[in-house]
Amino acid sequence: MTKPFLVVLGLRGTLLERLNIQETTSAIQRRPNLTFAKYNAWLRPGILHTLEKLSQVSDLAIWSATPHRNTVPLVSMAFPNIDFKFVWHREHTTTDNIKRLLPADDTRNRFSVIKDLNKIYEEMPQYSPERTVMVDDTIFKTRCHSGNVILLPTYDVNCVVREPAGVDESALNTQAAEELYRFIKEELIPVKDVRDLLPKRLL
């Protein structure tokens, strides 16, 4: 039996940008899609429609490098109608061995940000390396499984600043979101092993 196709998505920089309300400057014209706690958040243009379509052809999951207290409520508010099979956060990441060589007070040693797909396969054996892709904006967090990675251009504050106020989402740059859906549906899902085509940088 063919195992289900799993798409594991990063959060900040991949699906959305999140800024502290105090960091939201007048240079940002586009209104945030949502506000929670002390944060404003903007969805990558077109990503909600892409997730809705992907959910019809694959299983979706979130794996963020942010802590549980930020990840879970943000996902619930940003994507209330998307059926994610699981939402993982920083507490599920693995310590980078290189970081262990840094002094304890080195700020680069604060967080574990390596996403090890083997943890998914151990907890959820219905998924397999041949039928799993990770979508992120940086290879650093996903480098243990580069053969399963799709890299998107980072969606950050610089992108939000360039987006005008008061326009329909269709007038914004939805190319990355649209290409993500096309690539997964047309090129990855049909193949036996996604690692034959990955890693891949989109756009």
**CATH number of domain containing 132:** 3.40.50.1000
Structural domain contains residue 149: yes
When divided into structural domains, the chain yields a total of 1
Structural domain contains residue 63: yes
Q: How far apart are CA 14 and CA 17, in angstroms?
A: 8
Q: How far apart are CA 144 and CA 116, in angstroms?
A: 6
**CA 143 to the chain's CA centroid:** 15
Q: Residue 19: which pLDDT band, with cuts at 50, 70 and 90?
A: very high
Specify the pLDDT at position 113. Answer: 80
- Model confidence, pTM: 0.93
Structural domain contains residue 12: yes
Instruction: Give the angle subtended at the CA of 51 by the CAs of 50 and 54, to the nearest 5°.
Output: 85
Structural domain contains residue 92: yes
Specify the pLDDT at position 5. Answer: 99
Instruction: Give the angle subtended at the CA of 19 by the CAs of 156 and 29, to the nearest 5°.
Output: 70
Structural domain contains residue 25: no
Structural domain contains residue 158: no
Q: Which domain holds residue 197?
A: 6-16+44-153+167-201
Specify the pLDDT at position 100. Answer: 64
Is the model's pLDDT at 202 over the cut of 70? yes
Residue-wise pLDDT for 28-76, tens only, equals: 999 999 999 899 999 999 999 999 999 999 999 999 999 999 999 999 9
Is the model's pLDDT at 102 over the cut of 80? no
Specify the pLDDT at position 189. Answer: 98
Please choose, from the candidates 156, 110, 142, 123, the residue with its C-alpha nearest in 3D space to the C-alpha of residue 9. Answer: 142
Q: Residue 154: which pLDDT band, with cuts at 50, 70 and 90?
A: very high
Specify the pLDDT at position 95. Answer: 78
Specify the pLDDT at position 169. Answer: 87
Instruction: Give the angle subtended at the CA of 133 by the CAs of 130 and 137, to the nearest 5°.
Output: 150
Is the model's pLDDT at 110 over the cut of 60? no
CB atoms closer than 10 angstroms to residue 180: 26
Specify the pLDDT at position 168. Answer: 87
Structural domain contains residue 188: yes
Structural domain contains residue 29: no
What average pLDDT is seen over the chain? 93
